[in-house]
Chains A and B, each alone.
Chain A
């Protein structure tokens, strides 16, 4: 629950962020989709390490399991259905670059209003976290405040999120199963 990372942490934070940027740029320049998918997995692991340094183990956990684990496998499964190479771009990069620069400038302009990183007077430090941190121990006796907030105080939201996951799964199943049922070919050869 510290604010700014200590000097010792900075030696890890800066290389981590540099590696994140390098990975992102490599993914953009990559033509091989297979390598790009694997690099997004590495990107997720690096993000997870960084989130861990920011004292957010729950988020880091999720990022490592979902971002680096499951979504990489699902993207590879998708690649085995499509192709492994990206088509070379037909148009010039000028218009997308302009769009990205304008969007990026708008985002940077938005951050000017934000409080400084680790500022003790920032709204995130004052509201609502101290009230929850204080209340959780007395009201629920659950040591992990994140779980208490997600499952108890924000139970409705989590019910909605679980329903969203369920609905999304049903949607994917309906889309992917649609054709194979019309053309039953039985069990195909096993994957190599």
Chain B
């Protein structure tokens, strides 16, 4: 935790925008640059900034490591589950157009959104977990 006022105030002002920008990149991956991977990294960077300025314990309260680990696995499940959804409706694995036979482009949109969500969840959680692991190791020495 830092006692420098400028850093604390600056981080506090920046943080909502960093997290909001991560959500924007996540949701607009099919319209502009970016996608799940970039959004996950930005989200993780926001949490890391918070942990660096306000202390590791504050960061862990905001995003508990157990939750992060569960979300990392959940992201893979969301991705793989989107693939299974294609099978369930009679298409092949990861077959997005099959999700909406009347309007294949809609199926593509849902599929891509869901897949990107899975990527974002996994990337954000894994990156944060790795940082927490490093920082906890330092704190325990």
- Which residues in A have some Cβ–Cβ distance to B below 8 Å? 57-58, 60-62, 65-66, 69-70, 73-74, 77-78, 80-81, 139-144, 146-148, 150-152, 155-156, 158-159, 162-163, 165-166, 168-170, 172-173, 176-177, 179-180, 183, 185, 187-192
> In whole angstroms, what is the CA distance A14 to B135 when docked?
40
* Residues in chain B near residue A69, CB distance under 8 A: 41, 45
A140-B112 contact in complex given A74-B130, A166-B76, A185-B140, C-beta closer than 8 Å: yes
A61–B109 contact, CB under 8 A? no
Q: Shortest beta-carbon distance, B91 to chain A, in Å? A: 12
Q: What are 15 A-to-B residue pairs whose CB atoms are below 8 Å?
A: A60-B33, A70-B48, A139-B104, A140-B109, A144-B29, A152-B108, A155-B111, A158-B79, A158-B119, A159-B80, A165-B122, A169-B126, A173-B130, A185-B140, A190-B55
* Residues in chain B near residue A155, CB distance under 8 A: 83, 94, 96, 111, 115
B131–A74 contact, CB under 8 A? yes
* Residues in chain A near residue B109, CB distance under 8 A: 140-142
Partner of A77, one of B105, B108, B134: B134
Near A by CB (< 8 A), chain B positions 34-65 give 34-38, 41-42, 44-45, 48, 52, 55-57
Most central of A80, A142, A183 by chain B CB within 10 Å: A142
A61–B139 contact, CB under 8 A? no
* Residues in chain B near residue A176, CB distance under 8 A: 133-134, 136-137
Whether, in the assembled complex, B98 has its beta carbon less than 8 Å from a beta carbon of chain A, the answer is no
Near A by CB (< 8 A), chain B positions 115-141 give 115-116, 118-119, 122-123, 125-127, 129-131, 133-141
> In whole angstroms, what is the CA distance A192 to B3 when docked?
8
Partner of B30, one of A143, A168, A172: A143
* Residues in chain A near residue B33, CB distance under 8 A: 57-58, 60-61, 144, 146
A162–B75 contact, CB under 8 A? yes
B134–A78 contact, CB under 8 A? yes
A150-B41 contact in complex given A158-B119, A176-B133, A191-B135, C-beta closer than 8 Å: no
Contacts A159-B83, A173-B69 aside, 5 further interface pairs with beta carbons under 8 A come to A58-B38, A146-B35, A159-B79, A169-B129, A187-B139
* Residues in chain B near residue A77, CB distance under 8 A: 131, 134-135, 138
A141-B56 contact in complex given A70-B127, A166-B126, A176-B133, C-beta closer than 8 Å: no
> In whole angstroms, what is the CA distance A65 to B43 when docked?
10
